[in-house]
Chain A
Amino acid sequence: MPDATTLYLILPEITLAVFGMVILAVDLIWRERSRAALAWLTVLGFVIALATALLGWGWNMALFAQMYVVDTFAIFFKLLAAIAGILVTLVSLDYLRDRTPYRGEFLALFTFAVLAMMMMASSASLLMIYLSIEFLSYMSYLLTGFLREDKKSNEAAIKYFLYGAITSALMLYGLSLLYGISGSLNFADITATFAARNDVPTRIVALVSTALVIAGLGFKISLVPFHQWAPDTYEGAPTPVTAFLSVGPKAVGFAVLLRVLLTALPAFKNEWIALLTVISVLTMTLGNLVALRQKNVKRLLAYSSIAQAGYILIGLVSVNLNGASPFSGLNGVLIYLFAYLFTNLGAFTCVIAIENATGAVEIDDYKGLVKRAPFIAALFVIFFLSLAGIPPTAGFIGKFFVFGAALREGFLVLAAIGVINSVISVFYYFSVVRAAFFEAGKDTAPIRLAPPITFSLVVSAALVLVMAVYPEPFFNLAAWSMGMFGVAK
C-alpha cells in the first residue's frame, strides 16, 4: 500500500483515472438528453487534475521504486496536459454532437489519453516509458478512428496504428539492448553504468539503442523520417483529435526525450546532438517545403506542426545546463512548447469553428472569410503570426529562446537554417490569410460561434499575446521547471 505522500503526489493521475471510469459508467446509465453534461464532467475532471498537479509543485520525489518521478519538470507537462484537455474538450462539443452518438466513450478515451500524457511526463524508468507511451498511443489510435463510418477516419487510424506499432517495436528493441548493456531499467543506474564503462562495444550498443529510442519518440513528435503518418492522420482524424495530437503527444514526447537523453544518456551527448541536429534540419526543411503546396488546411497545419517540431529540437540540441545564462536551451524548449500549445490549439479551434458551420477545410473555402466571420479571421492572423514567429506573439518568444540557445552554443548554421525556414513558413501561413482577407468568396452567410469555442479562442489568443508582451512569468515558470536537472533556479 503506497503511503499518504505518494497518494498525494499522484492525485492528478488518480483524479483522471476516476473521472474516465465514471464517465464511461455514467454514459451507460444516463438518458440521451442528460449526456450533454458529460462534457462538463470531463472539463471538471481536467480542472481538478490541474489544481491537484499544482499541489505537488516543489516536491521532487521519486515514487514506486524510483520508476515514477514527480518533479517540477513533470508538473510543467502535467499542467500542459490538463490545459490541452480543457481546451480540446470545449472545442469538441459541437463537432461531436453533429457526427457521433458515442460522445461518452469519446470523452472517456480522451480523459485516459490525458492521463497517459501525465504518466509519460513522470516516467523515470525504461518500463514506465514503454507502458505510458503505449497507453497514449492506443488512446490516440482509437480517438483517430473514432468516426467509424467515415472512411477517412478509418484510414487515418490504420496508418497511425501501423506506423506506431512498428516504431514502438523499434524503440522496445532499443530499450532491451539498453537494459542488457547497463543491467538496469532505472535512469540513474544507467547513467552510473555508462560513466564507469566506456569500452567500444558498450558504446556501440548504447549508440544503437539511443538511435532506436529516438526513432520511437520521433514518431510521437513527428520528426523526419518518422513523420509519414502525420499528414494523413491529421487530415483524416476528427478535427478536435487532430488539434490534440498536434500538441499533446508532441509535448510529452519531448518531455520523455529530454528526460531520457539528459538523465539516462548524458554520456553520449556529443553523439545524440549530432544525430538530432541532422534530424532537426531535415524536419524543419521538409515540413516547410511540403506545406507550401498544400490545399487542405488540416494538412497544411500537419506539415506546419512537423516543421515546428524541428524548431523545438534546436533547443534540445543546444542544451547547456552549466552557468546561469538565460539561454539554456532547455528553457527554450519549455517556453516554445507552452507557446505552441496555445497557438496551435487556437489555430485548430478556428478551423473547427469554420468546419462546424460550413463543413469546409480547404483553403479555397476560406475565401471571403473576413466578411463572414471577422473575429475568426482576425484570430487566424494572430495564431499564424505566432506560428511563423513574428512579434508581438508567443511564437516569437519561443523562437527567440530556442535560436538564442543555438547561437550561444555556436550552432550558427543551425540557427540560420531555422530563421530561413521561419521565413519560408510565412508564405504558406499567409496563403490562408490572403484567401480569408483579400479574395471574394461565393458564400456570404455569417458564421456563428458557439460559446465554448469562443471561450477557448479568447483564452488561446489572450495567452498568445500576453506571453509576448509580458513574458517574465512564463520565463520564470520554465526556469523553475528545470529543477530536476540541478539547474540554477
Chain B
Amino acid sequence: MTVHHFIILSAILFSIGAVGVLLRRNPLIMFMSIELMLNAVNLAFVGFSRFLQLVDGQVFVFLILTVAAAEVAVGLAIIVAIFRARDSVDVDEVSDLKG
C-alpha cells in the first residue's frame, strides 16, 4: 500500500459523495453524501500524513471529525425546523424563494 492507493481511493470516495449531493433530493441523503466527501478528505490527510511522516495531517483529521459533528448538529436542527413548518423535507418542495 503506497500513498497512491490512499489518494486514489480518497478521490473515488469524494467523487461518489459529490455525485450523491448533486443527484439526490432528500436533504438527509445529501447530508450523508457530504459526510462521505469529508471522510474522503480525512483519508487523503491520513495517507499524506503517513507518507510525509508528519503528524499535523492526523491532527487535522481529528479537527475535521469534530467540526463535522458540529455541522451535523446545525444541519439537522435546520432540517427539523423545516419539517415542523412544512411536513416535508424534499428540497424540491422547499422553493418559496425564487426570482
- Chain A residues near B (Cβ < 8 Å): 126-127, 130-131, 134, 138, 141-142, 145, 148-152, 154-159, 161-162, 165-166, 169-170, 172-173, 175-177, 179-180, 183-185, 231-232, 235-236, 294-296, 299
Contacts and interface: CB of A to CB of B under 8 A. Distances in A.
Given A158-B78, A179-B60, A166 B40 contact: no
Interface of B is mostly: helix
A127 B60 contact: yes
12 contacts: A134-B71, A150-B85, A154-B86, A158-B79, A161-B78, A166-B21, A169-B37, A180-B47, A180-B52, A232-B97, A235-B97, A299-B99
Question: Which among A130, A165, A179 has the greatest number of chain B C-beta atoms within 10 A?
Answer: A165
Given A166-B21, A169-B38, A158 B27 contact: yes
Given A158-B79, A166-B37, 7 more contacts: A127-B63, A134-B67, A151-B96, A155-B82, A173-B41, A180-B48, A296-B99
Q: Which range holds the interface residue count of chain B? A: 35 or more
Nearest to B46: A176
Contact of B99 (A172, A183, A294): A294
Contacts of B64: 130, 172
A162 B81 contact: no
B97 A158 contact: no
Nearest to A65: B56
Contacts of A169: 14, 17-18, 34, 37-38, 41
A127 B78 contact: no
Given A127-B63, A166-B21, A183-B52, A172 B41 contact: yes
Contacts of A180: 3, 7, 44, 47-48, 51-52
Contacts, number: 127
B40 A173 contact: yes
A155 B95 contact: yes
A235 B97 CA distance: 7
A145 B31 CA distance: 17
A134 B34 CA distance: 14
Given A138-B74, A172-B41, A185 B56 contact: yes
A177 B44 contact: yes
A176 B34 contact: no
A299 B96 CA distance: 13
A151 B91 contact: no
Given A176-B48, A299-B99, A158 B94 contact: yes
Contact of B59 (A127, A152, A154, A175): A127
Given A177-B44, A296-B99, A185 B60 contact: yes
A157 B76 CA distance: 11
B8 interface: no
